[in-house]
Amino acid sequence: MAARFTRLRRISLRSLLGKSPRSVAGQVFVLQVALVALLVAFAVFSLVLQSQRDINAEAKRRSVAVAQTFAHSPGVVSALRTSAPSQVLQPLTEAGRRSAGVDFIVVMDTKGIRYTHPLPGRIGQRFVGTIGPSLAGNVYTESVHGPLGEEVQATVPIRDGGRVVALVSAGLQVEHVTSQVNRQIPIILGAGAAALGLATGVTALVGRRLRRQTHSLAPDEMTRMYEHHDAVLHSVREGVLIIGDDGRLLLANDEAKRLLDLPSDAEGRQVTHLRTLEPETVELLTSGRRATDEVYLAGSRLLAVNQRPTHRDGCGRRTVVTLRDSTELQAISGRAQVARERLELLYDAGLGIGTTLDVARTADELAQVAVPRFADYVSVDLAEGVLQGEEPAPTATGLRRIAVRGVQDDSPLYEKGRLIDFLPSTPQARSYGTGHLELVTDLASAHGWQAQDPARAEAIVDHGINSLISAPIQARGVVLGMANFWRCKERGPFDEEELSLAEELVARAAVSIDNARRYAREHALAVTLQRSLLPRALPELTALEVGYRYLPAQSGVSGDWFDVIPLPGGRVALVVGDVVGHGLHAAATMGRLRTAVHNFSTLDLPPDELLSHLDDLVGRIDQDEASTGAAAAVVGATCLYAIYDPVTRRCAMARAGHLAPALISPDGDVTFPDLPHGPPLGLGGMPFRTAELELPEGTQLALYTDGLVEDRRRDLDVGMEMLRQALAGHPDRSPEQSCQAVLEALLPARPKDDVALLIARTRALPCDRVAEWDVPPDPAAVARVRVAAARTLDEWGLSELGFGMELVLSELVTNAIRYGGEPIHVRLIRDRTLICEVSDGTSTSPHLRYAATTEEGGRGLFLVSQMTEHWGTRYSPHGKVIWAEFALPESVEHPGTARSGAVAPSTDDWPVAPRTPVLPGQVTATAPADG
């Protein structure tokens, strides 16, 4: 404030040489110069436009005059009648052009063909311009781009007895017209510059005189000076005094008069004559010394006084004094400190509470923030259902203490983990039931809470705890538990104002606890759904030794899946798929696709046909969700489907947008076969292709999803190479061990994408477990097949299955001979079941039906279905295979994987069909034969 009055006093002494460009004189000068410059520029522009317009008009006028003069010249019409008008007219036009000062005179016929032109090469060519108005007898002027460049020309008719017989055009080039204008511009600009200089000089003289009269003050400074003066006198809530060098009070604003209780006529009087002032205050005001926040008594008030001289150099004794009432400063300061501490506590609570989606961790963070800044001890009790992600109970029973913190570790409060049933008389029960905070200022005199546990209540009081706030932890209108704040005698009891702070603290924690509860519930549901959709256990297989791993992403639920599906004939289907995205929608879609794969596999389709059906299904899912306006539509899915046959050691594969599998040979080498690549599921329009691999026994097949090898920090090729290195060099390692080694080598601790990994080691069914015969299309061959089959069963120790096998085999072979076609083939396989297969060269499928009592046939397949565990049909590129399975007797052990070089039994009529030799890594483009 003192500096403000100093500025007001010294503002009139400002040097004229240092004037502000914002002064009144400066603004007037700038405005006048800008106005003069604008007027001069406008005048120059107008003169240039006018000159150009006049010259253009003169050019058109001259062109019209020259053209009309030449059109009416004697001899022109007679020259046009000659056989060579150009020879007569060309010299005349050139002479006239030079004498008239135009650039060209062109004579043309009524069709616009030139007779003359300054450029002789243009004679005989069509005139560039409009001749229609001139043919009608009018004079026409225009600007065109002619042979000489941009031209201004006039075209007039040549008449012979009132009839237009020819036209003549005369004109000038635009650049010649412009050059005349350019020659006038320096004269115009010189006159404008002179006018601008003269006007600027006059303006400078006017501005100088105005600057001396206003002392170089800007308009806003002059206005602000008077506004500040009024504000200091009447509006500022701080006392202001100006003391003269003779000790007189020159100025006192309204606030100073109020604080010092000055009379209305105090201004102009000596300070020593003002009886309302204390002697110490008078001594300060008359001394003229500097003072900073010195406290003086003024009646019942304590005033903080500041005093400064009005001159910066210290000359003179005139001073300015400011007064501030500090009577309530101490009380305000204390309340401000408390408020600041509470705000800091709430700020720290906002940062420190709810850092994780864990209920117990969030409750402990609440206790950690509140101790010791708000309470000496804090305990947090939550409903048992909240910990499981469920809704809490309606009463304060079954609360689990999950957090206890205090300034000392030996508190007598209930320990962490205890299940508590609060009685209705306790503050906790009342607060839980009403949803409002409960305050107990003196625990020693309060009796309701002691009924809960009298001995423990006495121990709490003896420990020095004497005050309690019970705050319900509620979110979205539901009470989740209780937060209890305890305070000892040394700090004094809680008061009513601290209830709002406790409520705010608990409210911040309640939202985080409720979010954690909901997350726990949704996570449990998602995990349950995920586990129900994925295979819980793999089937027992003879053909493969399988190991697998499934790791969900950080979100917990995703769309990756794998499966191992037993197929008829001892074959096994291996499936790995990936639905794009994460969450319940992706998991649900994955479940639908996995179920569809199971359903399609029961039809025993080859891999390419199965993927085609799956592609149609995904397309329909997309259409259905798009038609219903679903927010999360399926955006894509990939799948790899493989079928391994342990009898032929062949593996047929097809993939839809999926990564190729890895093959680990028995000697430990790893390759990635070049399988035909199909589009992702759901795109449609592109066929899938099946490739066949002939695998040596002991080959490992690794199927995986992209989350295993893809990562933002590395290229896909790097991930594939890491997978190859993790699998290579360990031929004796089991699939389970290989799965663990791959995950440790390729994945971080918490992968961002879900991963499905399936590794299977192939086994071959021993030759002594397979018997097969070619059957001629002769009904008499059925008996010999039965005999050969019975002999084979005897050798396998399965004689008790002979009757049923002979009956089923007779029915299937008879149907193949009667209704099928060549070649007819029979194969028996002893695996975990006894499998009978009859194949023929037709694709006609038999159907089970109930025959009427009067019908002679139709009961064969019914008997087959009754005497076997399962039966069915599968198709091959060469026909179909009817298969049936018999359960082995309990006394017969399931065959192991022991190898034997024995030859399968045969009949005397037909030798055993030779087994196809196994070529490691051989790939063919057709599906494997089924018999």
- Residue with the bigger pLDDT between 670 and 536: it is 670
Query: If pLDDT is split at 50, 70 and 90, which confidence band does 564 have?
Result: very high
Using alpha carbons, select from 456, 513, 494, 480 the residue that is nearest to residue 376.
494
- Residue with the bigger pLDDT between 467 and 60: it is 467
Question: What is the reported pLDDT for 281?
Answer: 85
Q: How far apart are CA 675 and CA 665, in angstroms?
A: 17
Most confidently modeled range among 209-218, 835-844, 863-872: 835-844
Query: If pLDDT is split at 50, 70 and 90, which confidence band does 471 have?
Result: very high
- Tokens of residue 762, six digits: 């192939």
Using alpha carbons, select from 485, 484, 479, 500 the residue that is nearest to residue 434.
479
- Tokens of residue 446, six digits: 């309060």
Question: What is the reported pLDDT for 861?
Answer: 75
On the CB side of 605, CA atoms within 13 Å amount to 18
Task: Average the pLDDT over 411-424 and give the result.
Answer: 89
Residues 6 or more apart whose CB falls under 8 angstroms from that of 404 comprise 367, 377, 378, 379, 380, 411, 413, 414, 415, 416
564-585 core/surface letters (b: 16 or more CB in 10 A; e: else)? bbbbbbbbbbbbbbbbbbbbbb
Q: How far is CA 70 from CA 91, 119, 141, 394, 673, in A?
A: 13, 19, 16, 117, 95
Using alpha carbons, select from 639, 637, 657, 533 the residue that is nearest to residue 595.
533
Q: What are phi and psi of 519, to 5 degrees?
A: -65, -40
Q: How far is CA 476 from CA 389, 391, 432, 435, 518, in A?
A: 15, 12, 15, 12, 12
Lowest-pLDDT choice from 89-103, 145-159, 888-902:
888-902
Tell whether omega for the bond before 928 is within 30 degrees of 0, i.e. cis. Answer: no
- Residue with the bigger pLDDT between 898 and 44: it is 44
Question: What is the reported pLDDT for 909?
Answer: 39
Task: Average the pLDDT over 875-890 and give the result.
Answer: 85
Query: If pLDDT is split at 50, 70 and 90, which confidence band does 331 have?
Result: low
Question: What is the reported pLDDT for 264?
Answer: 84
Query: If pLDDT is split at 50, 70 and 90, which confidence band does 908 have?
Result: very low
Q: How far apart are CA 569 and CA 566, in angstroms?
A: 9
Lowest-pLDDT choice from 325-329, 632-636, 736-740:
632-636
| Whether residue 929 has pLDDT greater than 50 | no
Mean pLDDT for the chain overall: 80
Question: What is the reported pLDDT for 665?
Answer: 93
Residues 6 or more apart whose CB falls under 8 angstroms from that of 671 comprise 662, 663, 665, 921
> Which residues partner with 694 through β-bridges?
650, 922
**Single-letter code of the amino acid located at 143:** S
| Whether residue 240 has pLDDT greater than 50 | yes
Name residue, tokens 């009757």.
803
Question: What is the reported pLDDT for 17?
Answer: 36
- Tokens of residue 229, six digits: 């003066």
Query: If pLDDT is split at 50, 70 and 90, which confidence band does 379 have?
Result: very high
Determine contact, residues 306/292, Cβ cutoff 8 Å: yes
Q: How far apart are CA 5 and CA 236, in angstroms?
A: 14
Query: If pLDDT is split at 50, 70 and 90, which confidence band does 669 have?
Result: very high
**Single-letter code of the amino acid located at 554:** Q
β-bridge pairing 670-671 and 662-664? antiparallel
Using alpha carbons, select from 492, 681, 685, 712 the residue that is nearest to residue 578.
681
| Whether residue 122 has pLDDT greater than 70 | yes
Question: What is the reported pLDDT for 897?
Answer: 41
What 8-state DSSP symbol labels residue 659? P
Using alpha carbons, select from 878, 874, 881 the residue that is nearest to residue 837.
881
Label each residue of 213-260 as H, E or C.
HHCCCCHHHHHHHHHHHHHHHHHCCCEEEEECCCCEEEEECHHHHHHH
Query: If pLDDT is split at 50, 70 and 90, which confidence band does 204 have?
Result: confident
Cβ of 837: how many Cβ atoms within 10 Å? 22
Per-residue pLDDT tens over the stretch 916-928: 333 233 333 222 2
| Whether residue 845 has pLDDT greater than 50 | yes
Task: Average the pLDDT over 528-536 and give the result.
Answer: 72
Query: If pLDDT is split at 50, 70 and 90, which confidence band does 731 have?
Result: confident
- Tokens of residue 828, six digits: 């028996």
State whether residue 571 is helix, strand or coil: coil
β-bridge pairing 465-475 and 438-440? antiparallel
State whether residue 151 is helix, strand or coil: strand
- Cα 715 from chain centroid (whole Å): 22
Task: Average the pLDDT over 259-281 and give the result.
Answer: 86
Tell me the chain's radius of gyration from C-alpha atoms: 54
Task: Average the pLDDT over 192-200 and give the result.
Answer: 74
The percent of residues above 90 in pLDDT, for the chain, comes to 15
| Whether residue 524 has pLDDT greater than 60 | yes
Name residue, tokens 């053209």.
67
65-80 core/surface letters (b: 16 or more CB in 10 A; e: else)? ebbbebbeeeebbebb
Using alpha carbons, select from 685, 671, 572, 593 the residue that is nearest to residue 639.
593
Per-residue pLDDT tens over the stretch 277-328: 888 888 888 888 888 888 888 877 788 888 888 875 545 578 898 888 777 6
Question: What is the reported pLDDT for 627?
Answer: 66
Label each residue of 173-228 as H, E or C.
EHHHHHHHHHHHHHHHHHHHHHHHHHHHHHHHHHHHHHHHHHCCCCHHHHHHHHHH
Q: How far apart are CA 664 and CA 702, in angstroms?
A: 8
- Tokens of residue 557, six digits: 């639920």
| Whether residue 611 has pLDDT greater than 90 | yes
pTM tops 0.85? no
Ramachandran bin of 417, using left for φ above 0, alpha for ψ from -120 to 50, beta for the remaining angles: left
Lowest-pLDDT choice from 18-27, 60-69, 74-83:
18-27
Determine contact, residues 142/129, Cβ cutoff 8 Å: yes
- Tokens of residue 895, six digits: 């065959």
Per-residue pLDDT tens over the stretch 134-193: 888 888 888 888 777 778 888 989 888 778 888 898 888 766 666 655 666 677 677 777
Q: How far apart are CA 8 and CA 95, in angstroms?
A: 86
Most confidently modeled range among 35-39, 216-220, 409-413, 570-574: 570-574
Q: What are phi and psi of 465, to 5 degrees?
A: -80, 125
Q: How far apart are CA 808 and CA 785, in angstroms?
A: 11
Question: What is the reported pLDDT for 485?
Answer: 94
Question: What is the reported pLDDT for 918?
Answer: 30
- Residue with the bigger pLDDT between 583 and 152: it is 152
CA dihedral angle for residue 332, residue 334, residue 335, residue 336, rounded to 10 degrees: 80
Length of the chain: 931
- Residue with the bigger pLDDT between 281 and 47: it is 281
Determine contact, residues 636/614, Cβ cutoff 8 Å: no
Query: If pLDDT is split at 50, 70 and 90, which confidence band does 132 have?
Result: confident
- Tokens of residue 503, six digits: 């409520």
The percent of residues above 70 in pLDDT, for the chain, comes to 83
Question: What is the reported pLDDT for 626?
Answer: 67
Cβ of 419: how many Cβ atoms within 10 Å? 12
Angle, alpha carbons 700-704-709 (nearest 5°): 115
Lowest-pLDDT choice from 197-206, 215-224, 503-512, 514-523:
215-224
Q: How far apart are CA 294 and CA 319, in angstroms?
A: 16
- Tokens of residue 792, six digits: 């084979």
Question: What is the reported pLDDT for 565?
Answer: 92
State whether residue 361 is helix, strand or coil: helix
Lowest-pLDDT choice from 69-73, 523-527, 548-552:
523-527
| Whether residue 702 has pLDDT greater than 90 | yes
Using alpha carbons, select from 177, 183, 154 the residue that is nearest to residue 167.
154
| Whether residue 454 has pLDDT greater than 80 | yes
